[in-house]
C-alpha cells in the first residue's frame, strides 16, 4: 500500500512519517512549496516590497534531514500558482469585504487535499497522509472525519471543507496521539525536528507583522472609530486590520466621558468606513444567537434540520449547542439560543455530531434574534 505524506519540516509530520514507515507502508514524502515572496511580489509589480525571507527554505532543509534519517524519498513540489489562485486571492478578497477569512481552511480544501492529492495520484499513491490532529474511520462505503484525541490540538475545524472523496484517500497517523506523546516519540527516535518550535500564524505570513504584511497588498483606508451611539473617539488605520471582539491595538486611552472598562471592536460600517467599538468583554452588541452561512460542505452525513448538534465558530472554541435550518440558495441558519460572543463573518461554522465532524459552512451574516449585526 503506497502512501504519500505531506512533510512540512515540523515535528508532527515527522512523527507521522515515522509511524507510517513502522506500520509497513510503502511511503514517500512530499514537501509543498506554496509561497514565493519574490515571485508573488513581482506579480504585483512591486518588487521592492519589504518582505522578510520566507522560512520555507529552512523548513525544507528540516524535512530533508528527517527523510534522510528515516530512509524515505522526499519529493519537492511547487503549488505556488494554485496557492495564489485559490487561497491567497480568496484571503485578499475577504479582507477587502471587511471580513476575517481563514486561509488555512482553504489551503486544506484546495492545496493539501486537492492539488497534493492529484499529484500523489500521479505518483501511484493509494492514500495521502498529513500530520493533522484528526482521525478518519474508513468504512466499506463511507469515511468519517473524527476529532483528534488531543482536544487542545484537534484540527478538524480546519478540515471542514474537504470532500468525502478526498477523505476516502486520506490517513492521519498522529490523530490518536496527544502533542506530548508526539514529542516523546520524536525524542525517543532522535528525529531532527524533535525539539522544533511549533509554527504559528497564517502559513504564508508566519511570524511576520500581520498589519505590515497586509499593507503590502491592500491599500489602507483610515477612518473614524466610533461608539455604539456614533461618537467619534479616535481613528482606525483600515477596517481590514481589525476583527470582531478584538481588544489589543485600538490605541484608546482613558477618558472622563466613559467608564473605566476595556474597549473592544463591536462592528464595522463598510459604507461609512467606521469601526464600531464598545466597552466590556461581553458588550451586548458582541452577542449573537444565530447566523446565516453559505459554501456548505457536508463531508459524510447531511445533518437533520432541528436536531441537536454542536458547533465551533473559531478554532479551539468550546463546543456550542446548535440546531440548523436549511434555507434557499444552499445556505443554512445556525441557531444557538443561549448566545455566543464574537461570531465573525468569514470564519467557519463547523458542525459536530459527537466525535464526528460533519463539515461546515462560511459565516456570512450574524444576528441577535432578527437584528443583523454590523459585523
Supply φ then ψ for residue 103, to 5 degrees.
Answer: -65, -25
Averaged pLDDT, 118-129: 98
* pLDDT for position 201: 63
Confidence of residue 46 (pLDDT cuts 50, 70, 90): very low
**Mean pLDDT over all residues of the chain?**
91
Q: Give the pLDDT score at 258.
A: 79
pLDDT digits (tens, 9 = 90+) for 126-137: 999 999 999 999
pLDDT band at 259 (very low <50, low <70, confident <90, very high): confident
For 370, residues 6+ apart whose C-beta sits below 8 A from its C-beta are: none
Q: What is the pLDDT of residues 206-224, one digit of tens each?
A: 666 777 888 888 888 999 9
- Mean pLDDT for 284-294 is 96
User: What are the residues facing 28 on neighbouring strands?
Assistant: 4
pLDDT in tens, 135-183: 999 999 999 999 999 999 999 999 999 999 999 999 999 999 999 999 9
Helix (H, G, I), strand (E, B) or coil at 331: strand
Which residues have C-beta within 8 Å of that of residue 10, sequence separation ≥ 6?
59, 62, 131, 193, 196, 198, 199
Are 157 and 109 in contact by the 8 Å Cβ rule? The answer is no
pLDDT higher than 60, residue 53: no
Q: What is the pLDDT of residue 36?
A: 74
Of 267, 214, 258, the closest CA to residue 50 belongs to 214
Give mean pLDDT, residues 226-237: 92
- Mean pLDDT for 229-236 is 93
What is the per-residue pLDDT across 86-108, written as a single tens digit (0 to 9) for each? 999 999 999 999 899 999 999 99
Which bin fits 69, alpha (ψ -120 to 50), beta or left (φ > 0)? alpha
Q: Residues 61-78: pLDDT tens digits?
A: 999 999 999 999 999 999
pLDDT at 43 over 50: no
Angle at 286 between CA 284 and CA 287, to 5 degrees: 70
Q: How confident is the model at residue 44 (pLDDT cuts 50, 70, 90)?
A: very low
Mean pLDDT over 305-320 rounds to 96
Instruction: Assign 373 to helix, strand or coil.
Output: coil
Active-site residues, by number, are 107, 203
CB of 17 closer than 8 Å to CB of 70: yes
Give the residue with greater pLDDT, 292 vs 218: 292
Question: Percentage of the chain surpassing pLDDT 70?
Answer: 91
Res. 48: pLDDT tops 70 = no
The pLDDT of residue 49 is above 50: no
**Percentage with pLDDT > 90 across the chain:** 80
> What pLDDT digit, counting tens, does each position of 263-288 carry?
999 999 999 999 999 998 888 999 99
Amino acid at each position: 500500500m503506497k502512501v504519500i505524506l505531506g512533510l512540512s519540516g515540523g515535528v508532527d509530520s515527522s512523527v507521522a512519517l515515522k509511524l507510517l514507515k513502522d506500520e509497513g507502508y510503502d511511503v514517500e514524502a512530499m514537501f509543498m512549496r506554496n509561497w514565493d515572496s519574490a515571485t508573488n511580489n513581482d506579480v504585483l509589480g512591486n518588487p521592492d516590497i519589504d518582505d522578510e525571507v520566507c522560512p520555507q527554505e529552512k523548513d525544507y532543509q528540516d524535512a530533508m534531514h528527517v527523510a534522510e534519517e528515516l530512509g524515505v524519498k522526499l519529493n519537492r513540489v511547487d503549488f505556488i500558482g494554485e496557492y495564489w489562485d485559490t487561497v491567497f486571492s480568496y484571503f485578499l478578497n475577504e479582507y477587502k469585504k471587511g471580513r476575517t477569512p481563514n486561509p488555512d481552511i482553504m489551503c486544506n480544501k484546495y492545496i493539501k487535499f486537492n492539488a497534493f492529492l492529484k499529484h500523489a495520484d500521479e505518483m501511484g499513491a493509494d492514500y495521502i497522509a498529513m500530520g493533522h490532529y484528526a482521525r478518519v474511520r474508513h468504512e466499506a462505503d463511507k469515511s468519517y472525519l473524527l476529532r483528534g484525541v488531543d482536544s487542545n490540538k484537534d484540527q478538524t475545524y480546519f478540515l471542514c471543507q474537504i470532500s468525502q472523496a478526498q477523505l476516502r484517500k486520506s490517513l492521519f497517523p498522529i490523530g490518536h496521539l496527544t502533542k506530548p506523546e508526539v514529542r516523546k516519540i520524536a525524542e525517543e527516535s532522535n528525529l531532527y525536528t524533535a525539539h522544533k518550535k511549533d509554527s504559528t500564524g497564517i502559513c504564508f505570513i508566519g511570524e511576520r507583522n500581520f498589519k505590515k504584511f497586509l499593507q503590502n497588498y491592500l491599500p489602507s483606508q483610515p477612518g473614524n472609530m466610533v461608539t455604539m451611539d456614533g461618537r467619534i473617539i479616535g481613528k482606525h488605520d483600515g477596517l481590514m486590520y481589525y476583527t470582531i471582539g478584538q481588544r489589543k491595538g485600538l490605541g484608546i486611552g482613558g477618558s472622563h466621558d466613559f467608564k473605566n472598562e476595556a474597549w473592544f471592536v463591536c462592528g464595522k460600517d463598510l459604507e461609512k468606513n467606521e469601526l464600531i467599538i464598545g466597552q466590556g468583554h461581553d458588550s451586548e452588541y458582541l452577542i449573537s444567537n444565530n447566523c446565516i452561512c453559505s459554501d456548505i460542505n457536508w463531508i459524510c452525513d447531511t445533518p437533520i434540520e432541528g436536531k441537536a448538534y454542536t458547533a465551533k465558530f473559531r478554532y479551539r472554541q468550546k463546543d456550542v449547542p446548535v440546531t440548523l435550518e436549511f434555507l434557499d440558495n444552499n445556505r443554512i441558519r445556525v441557531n444557538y439560543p443561549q448566545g455566543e460572543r464574537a461570531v465573525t463573518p468569514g470564519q467557519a461554522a463547523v458542525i459536530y455530531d459527537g466525535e464526528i465532524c460533519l463539515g461546515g459552512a462560511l459565516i456570512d451574516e450574524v444576528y441577535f434574534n432578527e437584528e443583523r449585526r454590523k459585523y
